[in-house]
Amino acid sequence: MIPDIEKLIEGVDVEAVYFVDEEIPTYVVVTSNDSEVIARLKKGFVDPEVDVNVVVLTPQEYEKLGELNPSLNEMLEYGERLK
């Protein structure tokens, strides 16, 4: 996990972090405190040196991911769980 993602989730109760190695690397953060992580993203809390996508999901959204976003669900099938 790149340091910027570690900084982004520091102090937040996170259930899981997944990494998908795509053209633009994608991190999926599963947390019940999604509003805190989203607020940090909007405030520019981190500014990675490389382009990355960050997807923030609640545990409920993650459980229904196959229905809500089938393409992201497929991506996670070959992704790596980091936390």
Per-residue pLDDT tens over the stretch 47-72: 777 788 899 999 999 999 999 999 99
11-27 pLDDT, tens digit per residue, is 999 999 999 999 999 99
For domain 3-81, give the CATH number: 3.30.300
Write a three-state SS string for 13-77.
Answer: CEEEEEEECCCCCEEEEEECCHHHHHHHHHCCCCCCCCCCEEEEECHHHHHCHHHHCHHHHHHHH
> pTM value?
0.87
What is residue 26's predicted lDDT score, i.e. its pLDDT?
A: 92
Q: Which residue ranges make up each domain of the chain?
A: 3-81
Residue 44's pLDDT is what? 83
